Structure 1
Amino acid sequence: MSINAKHLATFILGAAAGVAAHKYLQTEEGEKLLEDLKTKASDLKAEAEGAVDKAPEYFQELKTKGSEAIKSNFPDAEKFLKDLIDKFTTAKTTAENEGDVTVTPSTAQL
């Protein structure tokens, strides 16, 4: 792998940016920025942990309200779905039973 001028320039610019960031963060304004970032990060972490704790409760509530909304807006939905499932189950069973036909030499056409 050869190192060309483009890679070298990229490395030098990255190192210069790192040095500049280090110098800036050593100033009073940079230290204030770091403290603000730390505070925001800890707030976000606490908010995320709270959301994880509330997730099961939220999804249970969503499930309950969703089923209630479907039942109130579409009162025949449960019956329709049961009929549909029965229809497909019956059709599948019938197709499987019809597939068990055996061919004997007397019925086979040559």
Structure 2
Amino acid sequence: MSINSKHLATFILGAAAGVAAHKYLQSEEGEKLLEDLKTKANNIKSDAEGAVNKAPEYLDELKAKGFDGLKSSFPEAEAFFKDLYEKFTGNKGATAATPETMPIPDPIS
């Protein structure tokens, strides 16, 4: 692998940019910029943590609203899905299966 002039110029420009950034960040204005960035990063982090904590409640609310909307728009949807489930599992007249009693389908070979 040979070093040609493009590689050498790229390295020198990168090193110069690094030195310039270091000099700028050591100045009073650069330190102010770093403090602003740290403050903004901490705000974003706290917002993200709050969103993670609120996510389960939001998803439960969304699920309930979606179910209510489906039920009000299509009143026969619940009976349709129960019939479809019974046809799929072969359990006539059975109530909703719990995970313990739900049949496990055979794997496709």
Band the TM-score falls in, shorter-chain normalisation: 0.7 to 0.9
RMSD: 1.6
**TM-score, scaled relative to structure 2:** 0.74
Pairing of 1:33-44 with structure 2 (within 5 A): 33-44=33-44
Q: 2:82 — aligned with what?
A: 82
Distance in 2 (CA, whole Å) between partners of 1:30 and 1:5 is 33
Pairing of 1:1-110 with structure 2 (within 5 A): 1-87=1-87
Q: 1:105 — aligned with what?
A: none
Deviation at 1:85, TM superposition (A): 3.9
Deviation at 1:88, TM superposition (A): 5.2
Equivalent residues, number: 90
Q: 1:102 — aligned with what?
A: none
- Please, which runs of 5 or more residues in structure 2 have no aligned partner? 91-109
Identity of paired residues, percent? 76
Output the amino acid matched with 2:15: A
Q: 1:107 — aligned with what?
A: none
Deviation at 1:30, TM superposition (A): 0.9
Q: 2:105 — aligned with what?
A: none
Spell out, residue by residue over 1:52-104, the C-alpha distance to the aligned partner (whole angstroms, 9 max, x if none).
Answer: 111111111111111111111111111122333445556xxxxxxxxxxxxxx
Q: Is the radius of gyration larger for structure 1 or structure 2?
A: 1
